[in-house]
Structure 1
Amino acid sequence: MSIKKKLGLGIASAALGISLVGGGTFAYFSDTEVTNNTFAAGTLDLAANPTTIIDVTNIKPGDTMVREFKLENNGTLDISKIDLSTVYNVVDANNNNVDDFGKHIKVLFLENADKTGDGWVIDDYNDVISETTLYDLQNQTPDAVENLNSYWTWLLGLGGEDSGLKAGTADQMYVAFEFVDNDADQNEFQGDALELEWTFTAHQTEGESK
């Protein structure tokens, strides 16, 4: 092989080698950082204490019954409102009812003392329920933790809490029931029972920037 051919072959081989090196490797700096992230949901945990607000026997027309209980927010999230729904069942002992027993059981008031202000004040400023029968209450869903008249509590210096129920707090509730004496024959209700179920449903506050 001539010298020219050998030199030409060597140059071609060298060029191929440079091409392979250039195309197969590339040196650069790099750095890596890994982040660990968590999304933890809060909890709504509403409790009524006690769970049985009223359990009374041998009532008669004209009787009034006052009870107290607490609504507690045992969760980690604030509650914006607590809807109260009413369902009842009448047990007709003698199968002779013409009227609905629920029309004769009146809620005189359901008072949220924390929203009213300084202790328990029987008034019309912040009654969750005022003067309605259980029959009519079936079609209502009042908010048990709403400050209905913050203007009046401010004006009277009562300092009632804002609407809603903050996490870790409780509202003191007072309720009065009356077996209404309508000055008429109510004998059909003798021996009857009314089973009342109050359901309190808590709702979260609006979403916010975190």
Structure 2
Amino acid sequence: MSLKQKMAMSMATALLGVSLISGGTYSYFNDQEETMNTFATGLLELGINKQSIIQMKDIVPGDTMESDFTLTNDGTIDMREIQFLTDYKVIDKSENNNGDNLADYIHVELLHHVKGKEKVVFQKKLSDLKKKPFPILDAFPTGGNQEKFSIRCTFVDNEGNQNHFQRDSIELTWIFEAKQREGKSNVQ
């Protein structure tokens, strides 16, 4: 055999060996199981039984009005806190008030009804509540619970002349804001 044939035979043998090593046969057992997984967010939904809690018309100093309302947790997750926010605009239609604010003379009292008893949440002038969140409930779990409240508003009589408030009004917005519970590890 010539040198060329020996080289060709060596190359062919080497290629055959490499192909057998790399592409050799192998065998094993295999099994697979498929799982279906879900990530679904909860719903934070605070409910209230009224569109408007209180409407006071044609009031005079000394008038008081009370109204009841109910908050519900209509969502699927617990609430950590409920905050009460107030915003308003005074409409001055008559005499110049000379810096006297009608909201300083509206006294607001929020009552929480718990097990047949009234618990005073706060007693403040309407002007002290403006744009300041005030916590009214520390926790509100899901499960159909209802929290009953009353709000009592009084136009305070300062025993002086309050004629400059005649025909004035307040456009009042109350917002109840629910905050979600804290995140948990190993949520089931």
After TM superposition, the structure 1 stretch with the greater mean CA deviation from structure 2, 24-33 or 77-86, is 24-33
Q: CA deviation at 1:26?
A: 4.0
Q: Decide whether aligned partners of structure 1 residues 33 and 60 sit closer, same or farther in structure 2, where only a CA change above 3 A counts.
A: same
Helix, strand or coil at the partner of 1:20:
helix
The amino acid across from 2:31 in the alignment is D
The answer to whether the 8 Å contact 2:85/2:133 transfers is yes
Aligned to 2:107: 106
Q: CA deviation at 1:139?
A: 5.6
If each structure's strand is expressed as a fraction of its own residues, which one has the higher value?
Answer: 2
Q: CA deviation at 1:41?
A: 0.5
Helix, strand or coil at the partner of 1:143:
strand
The amino acid across from 2:81 in the alignment is K
Task: Render the CA deviation track for 1:162-199: whole Å, top value 9, x for unaligned.
Answer: xx111232210111100001100000111111111111
State whether structure 2 residue 140 is matched by structure 1 residue 165.
yes
Task: Render the CA deviation track for 1:48-91: whole Å, top value 9, x for unaligned.
Answer: 22020011211111111010001111110111101111111111
Aligned to 1:156: none
* Partners of 1:9 and 1:178 in 2: CA distance: 110
Task: Render the CA deviation track for 1:122-173: whole Å, top value 9, x for unaligned.
Answer: 4xxx32212x110112264221213xxxxxxxxxxxxxxxxx1112322101
Structure 1: give runs of 5+ residues left out of the alignment. 147-163
Structure 2: give runs of 5+ residues left out of the alignment. none
Matches within 5 A, 1:93-132: 93-98=93-98, 99-107=100-108, 109-113=109-113, 117-119=114-116, 121-122=117-118, 126-130=119-123, 132=124
The answer to whether the 8 Å contact 1:66/1:174 transfers is yes
Aligned to 1:184: 160
Question: Could you tell me the TM-score, scaled by structure 1's length?
Answer: 0.76
Question: Could you tell me the TM-score, scaled by structure 2's length?
Answer: 0.85
* Partners of 1:138 and 1:8 in 2: CA distance: 97
The answer to whether the 8 Å contact 1:112/1:145 transfers is no
The answer to whether the 8 Å contact 1:110/1:174 transfers is yes
Q: How many pairs align?
A: 182
The amino acid across from 2:181 in the alignment is T
Aligned to 1:44: 44
* Partners of 2:145 and 2:70 in 1: CA distance: 10
Aligned to 1:138: 130
The answer to whether the 8 Å contact 2:87/2:131 transfers is no
Aligned to 2:184: 208
- Percent identity for Structure 1 against Structure 2: 36
